[in-house]
Structure 1
Amino acid sequence: MNWLKIIAGAALLQVVLLAPAQAGENLDAIKSAGVLKIGTEGTYAPFTFHDPDGKLVGFDVEIGEAVAEKLGVKAEFLEGKWDGLIAGLDATRYDVVVNQVGITDQRKQKYDFSEPYIASKAVLIVRADDDGIKGFADLKGKKSAQSLTSSFGKLAEASGAELVGTDGFDQAIQLVLTGRADATINDSLSFLDFKKHKPDAPVKIAAEQADADYSGIIFRKGDADLKAAIDKALVDIKADGTYQKIADKYFGQDVSK
């Protein structure tokens, strides 16, 4: 029994002695390589997509580049499908994922997140001349264009709306514009992006949910130094105006809160 205690004690001491050496390991490796490897989709406008010339662009792309610059390294983007994107962290394919990844309790059990850098809300969108729908409760008996399995669709249904199935935001907006639907509940960021490109489109936000969903930069657990460095980088790009410039470019306003 005494030998077991000695062995256990020695193992515990080894863990304690090794811990400081492991702290900051990922951050040290990133700085040593001079590169922050970033996982992203490349197919999710306006966050991460390819322009007509094939260049990877988008809100998240520019945020990733700005964060990397504050860390003193270059950003290198590695694209992948959403279904396996976060799992790529486990395979150490990249250091972080920047792809409007929602911060959830389930994900936080396995991964670490930066502080939130983007917020989105469910908004109720109607035609600009429609004054009859002022809130979610006014959807009762109305037609709402929705992706049927989405959380937005469930909210519309719970509000008493008749659902008109769509393949996504663009189709939902068209159904509202053409009068085939009275409204759509959708993502506030998608609406801002749409209005950025089509400011004269006769649609408006009639109401929005009070609670926002937040997204952050996601990375492997266990490196407090890396989290601190990324969080500081995000604070710095907000302080020096970089964040506002990027947000204005893609959404026309600050989208961090």
Structure 2
Amino acid sequence: MKRILTTLGLTFALAGNAWTAQAADNSRLDDVIKSGKLRICMTGDYKPFTFYKPDQTFEGIDVDLGQSLAASLGVQAQFVKTTWTTLTNDFLSSCDIAMGGVSVTLERARKASFSASHMVDGKAAIARCADVAKFQSLEMIDRPATRAIVNPGGTNERFARTHYKQAQLLMHPDNVTIFQQIIDGKADIMVTDASETLWQAKQHPQLCSINPDRPLQFSEKAFMLPRGDVAFKEYVDIWMHLLKATGGYEQIFNHWLK
């Protein structure tokens, strides 16, 4: 019996090694290098991570990071515009990696893998500065008189539908102009990632980020990767580790948020 178990264990070990070798041989990492391009899905509507400009080019933190990753591979970065609603499906069909302030969620993890998280970034509220005292907690936000605006398809909508029981939920399809709706008095508040509230408050003096250091919900930023591709994930994680260790990540981050 012991000999049988030993034989079975060796068989499974060899099968596992064969699967690992096969996975390494079929890695997207090799495909990217052979093709000479890294296809990067991003929405282009989430400053400071990604913004699609009128000249049809992208800019932002994750655009710079994507170009850095591509350069490390010796290939060109090719940015593919998507939306939050179609992000996962577009990534699966058309891209090698998804970037642009992507939050790690269990829903996304059912269909794709993620790199190691490179940023902790919980949900925070942003409102007109004159109204900050009115929205100091989720309980104070979720009241019948509150007009809470949100963009569809991502974690912001998921947060709103989960936590708002009384507040009026206003859907606005354009995440670039959504903050102007608050400034113009057409909405009262938005809950989004703390980093975005800080960025938007910097761009619009009329708006204030509310307690970004005490987020309403924990979340992390990472890059969406093909599921089961160990070699590609290891490469992306090593690249990010070295970028942070040598100061490159901080330099990119500070360029956009400081």
- Fold agreement, TM-score > 0.5: yes
User: For each residue in 1:67-99, what CA deviation from the matched residue of structure 2 results, as whole angstroms up to 9, or x when unmatched?
Assistant: 2334x42332141433555445545x4432223
Is residue 147 of structure 1 aligned with residue 153 of structure 2? no
Percent identity reads 18
Question: RMSD of aligned C-alpha atoms?
Answer: 3.6
Deviates more, 1:127-136 or 1:222-231: 127-136
Determine the structure 2 residue equivalent to 1:62: 64
Letter in 2 for 1:203: C
Structure number with bigger Rg: 1
What is the rounded CA distance, in whole Å, between the counterparts of 2:82 and 2:218 in structure 1? 25
SS at match of 1:99: coil
The DSSP-based 3-state class of the residue aligned with 1:100 is coil
Distance of aligned partners of 1:155 and 1:55 in 2 relative to their CA distance in 1, 3 Å threshold: same
- Secondary structure at 2:223's aligned position in 1? strand
| Structure 1 alignment gaps of length 5 or more | 1-8, 253-257
Structure 2 residue 118 is the aligned partner of structure 1 residue 111: no
Alpha-carbon contact 1:97-1:217 (below 8 Å) kept: yes
- Cα contact 1:40–1:85 (8 A) shared by 2: yes
TM-score normalised by length of structure 1: 0.72
Q: Is the CA contact 1:64–1:98 (under 8 Å) kept in the aligned structure 2? A: yes
Relative to structure 1, the CA distance from residue 141 to residue 234 in structure 2 (aligned partners, 3 Å threshold; closer, same or farther) is same
**For 1:169 and 1:132, how far apart are their aligned partners in 2?**
24
Partner of 2:7: none
Structure 1 residues 250 and 196, CA gap change in structure 2 (3 angstroms): farther
2:225 paired residue number: 219
Q: Deviations over 1:149-175 (max 9, x none)?
A: 7234335633x43x1624155665445
- Deviation readout 1:174-230 (Å, 9 max, x if unpaired): 4543555543333323322312323x3343415753532223222223332221111
AA matched with 2:102? V
Instruction: Output aligned runs, 1:19-168, within 5 Å.
Output: 19-23=20-24, 25-26=26-27, 29-30=30-31, 32-33=33-34, 35-41=36-42, 43-46=44-47, 47-70=49-72, 72-82=73-83, 85-88=87-90, 90-91=92-93, 93-130=94-131, 131-139=133-141, 140-147=143-150, 150-154=157-161, 157-158=164-165, 160-161=166-167, 163=168, 165-167=170-172
Q: 2:86, 2:211 → 1: CA distance? A: 36
Query: What's the TM-score once normalised by structure 2's chain length?
Result: 0.72
Give 1:247's match in structure 2, choosing from 225, 248, 253: 253
Report the residue type matching 1:201 in the other structure. Q
The letter for the 1-side match of 2:254 is D
Q: Letter of the aligned partner of 2:243 in structure 1? A: I
Question: Per the alignment, do residues 67 and 124 of structure 1 end up closer, same or farther by CA in structure 2, a change over 3 Å counting?
Answer: same
Report deviation, 1:251. 2.9
Query: Which segment drifts farther, 78-87 or 9-18?
Result: 9-18
What's the offset of the Cα at 1:132? 4.0
Q: Is the 8 A contact 2:102 2:222 kept in 1?
A: yes
Amino acid at match of 1:108: A
Q: Separation in 2 of the partners of 1:182 and 1:28?
A: 46
| Cα separation, 1, equivalents of 2:256 and 2:15 | 50
Question: What secondary structure, in the 3-state scheme, does the structure 1 residue paired with 2:45 have?
Answer: coil
Question: How far does the alpha carbon of each residue in 1:102-125 deviate from its partner, in whole angstroms, 9 at most, with x for none?
Answer: 322333333221011244322122
Distance 1:81 1:66 in 2: 21
Match of 1:5 in 2: none
Q: Is the 2:46–2:100 Cα contact (8 Å) retained in structure 1?
A: no
